[in-house]
Amino acid sequence: MPLSDGMYYAYSNRGLPSRPPVLLIHGAGSDHLCWPAQLRRLPGWNVLAVDLVGHGRSEGAALQSIEAYTASILEFLDRLNIYNVILVGHSMGGAVAQTLARLYPQRVPGLALLACGANLSGAVELAELLCNPVTRAGGFDKLEKILFSRGSDANLVNQTMQSLRSVRAGVMYADWMACARFESAEWLAEISASTWVGVGAQDRLTPPGASMFLAERIPRASLEVIEHAGHMLILEQPGKTARGLAGWLNKLFP
């Protein structure tokens, strides 16, 4: 796995030279491994999947604002001499992607927002539950209930939750506080990038209505609701998510 000034990333070199690379940005308490192979290895596209600062195998401490994560991604891209990039963000990663697309529209020709919204209600409560030793177990129980769809594969749920439980409390707190402070409703109309919004039909953390709001407010946005998936649609329905993303990307850059 390559390393760029302390930030780890996975790289799949399958892209056509005429197409900009795709950057996958993970959600709270996660790392690049949350992206299944179907998304990390999109045929016809060069794909980078990064570990945010303080996550996975990246160095440093987790940050407590979406703006700070956005600045770190911008520095990451600059170090790799990547100017134009298609951003794909899941959950908190979608907040980072929204912010970067708004601030640097000339660098972001395409934007994909998965299981995301203009804000994340309940983030403060989750931050407090997950970081208090007394309530931590209950916090993860609550998180499990809202991350997955009903009837989701038990092994997938157990593996994902085991990974989340192993994350340092400080990282979880920083990420959820960053989510709690995020609000983009007032400036969504400023996003000029062509945008694909994907959401699980059973998402209980950022419900389909939150994605509909994004699609309505962002001028060049389209929405796809993915059945039999919750907030973790990238893991529950990787094939459907990858096909939806690839279909949109291939129309954007034939």
pLDDT attached to residue 136 = 85
Segments making up each domain of the chain, as ranges: 3-252
Residue 33 has a pLDDT of: 93
**The pLDDT of residue 135:** 87
CB-CB contact of 237 with 151 (8 Å): no
| pLDDT number for residue 6 | 87
CATH topology for 3-252 is Rossmann fold (3.40.50)
CA distances for 137 relative to 128, 141, 168, 206, angstroms: 12, 6, 14, 22
What residues of the chain score a pLDDT lower than 70?
A: 1, 121-122
> What confidence score (pLDDT) does residue 142 get?
87
Rounded Cα gap, residues 130 and 132, in angstroms: 6
| Reported pTM | 0.95
Q: Going by DSSP bridges, is the β-strand pair 7-13/3-4 parallel, antiparallel, or unpaired? A: antiparallel
C-alpha 250: how far from chain center: 20
